[in-house]
A = this chain, B = another copy of it.
Amino acid sequence: MFNIALFGAGRIGQVHAVNINNHPETNLYSVIDPYLEGAQKLVDSYQAKIQSVEEAMADPNVHGVCIGSATDTHANLIELAAINGKAIFCEKPIDLELSRVRDCLAVVEKHNVPMLVGFNRRYDPQFRQLKEQLGAGTIGKAESLLITSRDPSPPPAEYSQVSGGMFRDMTVHDLDMARFIIGEDPVSITAHGSCMVDPAIGEAGDIDTAVLVLQFPSGVMATIVNSRRSGYGYDQRLELHGEKGLLQAGNMKENLVQHWGDVGCTSAKPQPFFLERYQDAYIAEWQHFADVLAGRCKPECSGVDGEFALVLAEAALESMKSGKTVIL
């Protein structure tokens, strides 16, 4: 049984707490959060204890850390965990500054601890299924990928400062997904953005609607279509075209009931947002981290993957500003 110290008792921390508890090989050992009330709720539900950052890092009973705290604490916590020899699971991003990411990864490498970066979508059973069918030759060689990714509603305009902007905050998942599916590193990126949803986002210097095109060494092109608004749930789809056919991974609906009535045939909306849509992905992700803890495999999504996604997000920003394709 591996004891896990959970950093962050918020929305995503609660998801991980359930999965840590339900997994037969992991135990929610402690919760660390400056907001004590939230931490207390979790420790009560799962017979865990509250610790400080220092206590958790120094505690030899802690085998692994699960970092789901605020973005600006990630890099520090990663470094402390590495220094203290803990296996690391960290939500994306490592940091919003590329230089800080690189310094942090150097510390992890020096202390040689396993680290898994939480690009949750890589574990989504639908997207995995699509990737497996590609691998099995169902559509032959890949030719073009389309990623549709729309949030249900925009964050407040102020969030643009905290999040690093749409590309670093939201598109970064799709950039990682493109690399994951194609299995290559892109050679160029072109980005287009506009502000269609909330003018305040534009005034804050950010965008809310985007199209990006990536080209890969094999000639494959990946297109990413993004919006901060959907109005019909969380829109998360993949479409991969190959020499022998097409694979589509569609939205997961809230239920499968169809109603035929006087306005036509209506079925449910897609799942509302990431906690519901990627519920199974979070379970599979944690299963993978348990496999890493048990030494059964290496992390499938490493610090370098986290770094690469950020490099792409920054190149996208440069392309959008210059109106030119950026060669990587």
Residues of A within 8 A of B (CB): 21-22, 24, 45, 125-126, 129-130, 133, 138-139, 141, 143-144, 146, 148, 150, 188, 190, 192, 194-197, 209, 211, 213, 215, 219-221, 223, 225, 227, 229-233, 235, 241, 243-253, 255-270, 323-325
Task: A213 to B226: give the CA distance in the assembly, Å.
Answer: 13
Name the residue on B nearest A246 (C-beta).
B260
State whether B324 touches A255 (Cβ < 8 A): no
Task: A232 to B230: give the CA distance in the assembly, Å.
Answer: 28
Task: A54 to B164: give the CA distance in the assembly, Å.
Answer: 65
Name the residue on B nearest A323 (C-beta).
B325
Task: A88 to B149: give the CA distance in the assembly, Å.
Answer: 45
Beyond A192-B213, A264-B268, A325-B323, whether A230 also contacts B257 by CB under 8 A is no
Residues of chain B within 8 A (CB-CB) of A130 are: 257
Task: A150 to B242: give the CA distance in the assembly, Å.
Answer: 12
Contact of A225 (CB < 8 Å), options: B146, B229, B251, B264: B146
Residues of chain B within 8 A (CB-CB) of A266 are: 263-266
Task: A270 to B265: give the CA distance in the assembly, Å.
Answer: 9
State whether A243 touches B225 (Cβ < 8 A): no
In angstroms, how far is the closest chain B Cβ from the Cβ of A209? Answer: 6
Contact of A232 (CB < 8 Å), options: B235, B246, B256, B325: B246
State whether A144 touches B265 (Cβ < 8 A): no
Beyond A213-B211, A325-B323, whether A227 also contacts B133 by CB under 8 A is no
Task: A192 to B188: give the CA distance in the assembly, Å.
Answer: 11
State whether A265 touches B259 (Cβ < 8 A): no
State whether B257 touches A133 (Cβ < 8 A): yes
Would you list the 8 A-B pairs with minimal beta carbon distance, nearest first? A245-B261, A232-B260, A194-B219, A246-B260, A323-B325, A248-B258, A129-B255, A143-B196
State whether B229 touches A139 (Cβ < 8 A): no
Task: A17 to B181: give the CA distance in the assembly, Å.
Answer: 37
Q: What are 23 A-B pairs at a CB distance below 8 A?
A: A143-B197, A144-B209, A192-B213, A194-B221, A196-B219, A196-B220, A209-B221, A211-B223, A223-B225, A230-B241, A230-B260, A231-B243, A232-B262, A245-B260, A247-B258, A247-B259, A252-B256, A260-B270, A263-B269, A264-B268, A264-B269, A265-B266, A324-B325
Given A188-B323, A225-B241, list of 15 further CB < 8 A pairs? A22-B22, A138-B259, A144-B211, A190-B213, A194-B219, A213-B213, A230-B241, A230-B260, A232-B264, A233-B260, A252-B256, A253-B264, A265-B267, A265-B268, A324-B324
Name the residue on B nearest A46 (C-beta).
B24
Task: A120 to B259: give the CA distance in the assembly, Å.
Answer: 24
Residues of chain B within 8 A (CB-CB) of A262 are: 231-232, 244-245, 269
